[in-house]
Structure 1
Amino acid sequence: MTKKLIIIGSGPAGYTAAIYAARANLNPILITGDNAGGQLINTDKIENWPGDHTTISGFELMHRMYIHATKLNTYILNDHVITIDLKRKPFFLITKTKKEYTAHTIIIATGALARYLGLPSEKKFQGRGVSTCAICDGFFHKNKSVAVVGGGNTAIEEALYLSNIANKVYLIHRRNTFRAEKILVKRLYDKINNNQIVLCTNYIISEIIGDTSGVTGVKICSINNINNYKILNISGLFIAIGNIPNSNLFKNQLDMNNGYIKVNYNIHENSTQTSIPGVFAAGDIVDHIYRQAITASASGCMAALDAERYIEKYIS
């Protein structure tokens, strides 16, 4: 039997879409993917979720969304979509456990993964000083020393943001020029001239140092001479070397921009619609700018409402 709606992904966007879709009596199926809960489950402390004035962990918040969705009778499938055909109607997909489904509408909420350095010590301290979001975690390093690694817009924006919170911000970049917009580079050098940011160009991170309390420092080596190194005493490392959208499954089927799925093909009626009517996308798979749990949830709500309108108009 063809389902009205299948949601692919179980981060804030996916779960919020499920909650709204279930309340609209669409009887959604949510397929979690291999990374149930999304990136947020790696966040140790969240203090900016509206209504939660006390600290909450990312794992706890995602578990609450899971409970909310299941309470409304969302069918949650702990599986991973390996094949999808969006060229045929109804849409057809196969999961890793070889289950086959057809659906009149699809919401894609597969998110994006932060690009990491690939160091063994990086994973060890993830959520304990290693972060990919200054807005999320910068507050925990108030009046302390932190480091940012990267040379694009995101890295400089993170360093500028942290300079208003931390006592000292090191910006580590493997080159001596930046890919970022000129206006951001100018702001960066204004902060450097005011001794708010310390620039470490032509350096790479070779090791993240820490103990049971979390990150305590980083070892950075010159790209020209690995024996030329420094130890920076810091409490937090913010990695800003890009994100990898989880969109490989949809290549050659949906319009994309650098791997992010394009939406707003019918902005007056369905603003989360992709290049294929009936296929909607929400969360970090479409957003490379804000990348916040709350904006992902908001777009998940929008996608569910868009799917509901589409079904009422074309399927019912």
Structure 2
Amino acid sequence: MLDLAIIGGGPAGLTAGLYATRGGLNNVTMFEMGMPGGQITTSSEIENYPGQKEVVTGMALMEDWPEQCKRFGLKHEMNQVMSVTKKDEVFTLTTADGKTQEAKTVLLATGSVPRRAGFKGEDKLFGRGVSTCATCDGFFYKGKEVAVIGGGDTALEEAVYLSKMCSKVYLVHRRDTYRAAPSTIEHMKNADNIEEVTNCDIEEVYGDNMGVTGLKVKSKISGDIRDIPVPGVFVFVGRDVLNDSLKQEDGSFLCETNKAGEIVVDLRMRTNVAGLYAAGDVRIEASKQVVCAAGDGATAAVNIIEYIG
């Protein structure tokens, strides 16, 4: 039986694994389907992680984390946890290959994924010009015009990133104010080739057999339709938490969640189910910053060690 099963290999899960193993737990496994590092590995620029004085990519920032954790005994199982149940103080994890694993405690650190905006043509053309990762796909539009949809930190940061390789970036937002840090807004406004297209809704993204060829936006003020011919559209309109592994057979969740599906925890990262913890972007009121997720993981691990005794 595992002392601790960590579901998710981003900053929260890795840090929890580091603190738990270094703190004395001998049987800790982190379940992560892909390469550990989490969603932050797709970010183009990280300039605000404490102690990191150079601007680096998310991939570079996370590069050494898994190796550090493994040094203290953290095991990585490349498998997807499909469900978590609890009976008689023992958790049972069922993985995608149909196997089960018992654990004394569980930490959910699955994070979140980019949310779809829901406009016409988005699903049809996703992966063929519609993207949620500027780092992954921006290179394909070098010297071309693209559109970025959204008004938060991620949208503005990725618009700035794309402006360095694309001839022009249309920043499309439904309001005329942004939900981003002042410094991020300043960076965006200082980019000469970013055009702000505000107070408008996306009517549709359209294309042909080759992919996206443009999008149409509707002004909330005049009602006019504007056609913006671009081969690439990047969508950054928030994220959805990954909580499916906690769903029970009756459709309920193993622990308390809010309306958005985020896991309700206290300051110790404890859920209302003894032995079950949540950390990082999957929990309520998460700041969605790497340093905060790492702090969550450390907090959870310290309290898990105390819980196991």
**TM-score between both structures, scaled by the size of structure 2:** 0.73
Q: Distance in 2 between matches of 1:149 and 1:103?
A: 46
The answer to whether the 8 A contact 2:174-2:198 is kept is no
Q: Which residue of 2 aligns with 1:76?
A: 76
- The answer to whether the aligner puts 1:12 opposite 2:11 as a matched pair is yes
Alpha-carbon distance change, 66 to 146 in structure 1, aligned in 2, over 3 angstroms: farther
Partner of 1:173: none
* 2:188 counterpart residue number: 166
What is the count of residue pairs matched by the alignment?
267
Counterpart-to-counterpart distance in 2, 1:222 and 1:254: 41
Tell me which residue corresponds to 2:215: 220
1:20 and 1:301 in contact (8 A); partners too: yes
Residue pairs, 1:291-310, within 5 angstroms: 291-310=288-307
In structure 2, do the counterparts of structure 1 residues 57 and 96 end up closer, same or farther at CA, with 3 Å as the change threshold? Answer: same
Quick check: 1:245 aligned with 2:241? yes
Q: Which residue of 1 aligns with 2:143?
A: none
Q: Which residue does the alignment assign to 2:141?
A: none
Give the letter aligned to residue 20 of structure 1: Y
- For residue 93 of structure 2, what is the amino acid of its counterpart? L
Aligned partners of 1:104 and 1:90: how far apart in 2?
6
Q: Which residue of 2 aligns with 1:91?
A: 91
The whole-number CA distance in structure 2 between the counterparts of 1:287 and 1:148 is 28
DSSP-derived class of the 1:103 partner: strand
Amino acid in structure 2 at the alignment position of 1:303: A
1:133 partner amino acid: T
Q: Alpha carbon RMSD of aligned pairs, Å? A: 3.7
C-alpha distance in structure 2 between counterparts of 1:243 and 1:288, whole Å: 13
CA displacement at 1:63 relative to structure 2: 2.9
Three-state SS of the structure 2 residue aligned to 1:260 is: coil
For the structure 1 residues 303 and 63, does the alpha-carbon distance in structure 2 shift closer, same or farther, using more than 3 Å as the test? same
Question: 1:236 Cα shift?
Answer: 9.4
1:230 Cα offset (Å): 2.8
Structure 1 stretches lacking a partner, 5+ long: 170-195, 209-216
| Secondary structure at the counterpart of residue 188 of structure 2 | coil
Match of 2:171 in 1: 147
Q: Using structure 1 for the length normalisation, give the TM-score.
A: 0.71
Q: Residues 285 and 231 from structure 1, CA distance in 2 versus in 1: closer, same or farther, beyond 3 angstroms?
A: same
> Which amino acid in 1 is paired with 2:188?
A
Is the CA contact (8 Å cut-off) linking 2:94 and 2:100 kept in structure 1?
yes
- Asked if 1:286 corresponds to 2:283, the answer is yes
Matches within 5 A, 1:114-129: 114-116=114-116, 117-118=122-123, 119=126, 120-123=128-131, 126-127=134-135
85-94 vs 20-29, greater mean Cα deviation: 85-94
Please give the secondary structure, in 1, of the residue aligned with 2:76.
strand
Q: Hey, what's the Cα distance between the residues in 1 that align with 2:11 and 2:47?
A: 16
Q: Quick one: distance in 1 between partners of 2:162 and 2:184?
A: 9
SS in 2 for 1:157: coil
The amino acid across from 2:130 in the alignment is E
Secondary structure of residue in 2 paired with 1:156? coil
Identity %: 24
Give the CA deviation at 1:310: 0.7
Provide the rounded CA distance (Å) in 1 between the counterparts of 2:5 and 2:41.
23
Alignment correspondent of 1:255: 256
Aligned counterparts of 2:35 and 2:261: Cα–Cα separation in 1: 19
Which of 141, 150, 154 lines up with 1:133 in the alignment? 154
Question: Cα 1:159–1:223, aligned 2, differ >3 Å: closer, same or farther?
Answer: farther
Rounded to whole Å, the distance in 1 between the matches of 2:294 and 2:233 is 27
Q: SS at 2:198's partner residue?
A: strand
Partner residue in 2 for 1:48: 48
* Paired residue secondary structure (2:130): helix
- C-alpha spacing 1:133/1:23, structure 2 compared with 1 (3 Å): same
SS at match of 1:310: helix
Q: Offset at 1:167? A: 2.5
Q: Residue 61 of structure 2 corresponds to which residue in structure 1?
A: 61
Contact in 2 for aligned 1:3/1:104 (Cα 8 Å) = yes
- Structure 1 residues 12 and 204 mapped into 2: Cα distance closer, same or farther (>3 Å)? farther
| CA–CA separation in structure 2 for the residues paired with 1:19 and 1:114 | 27
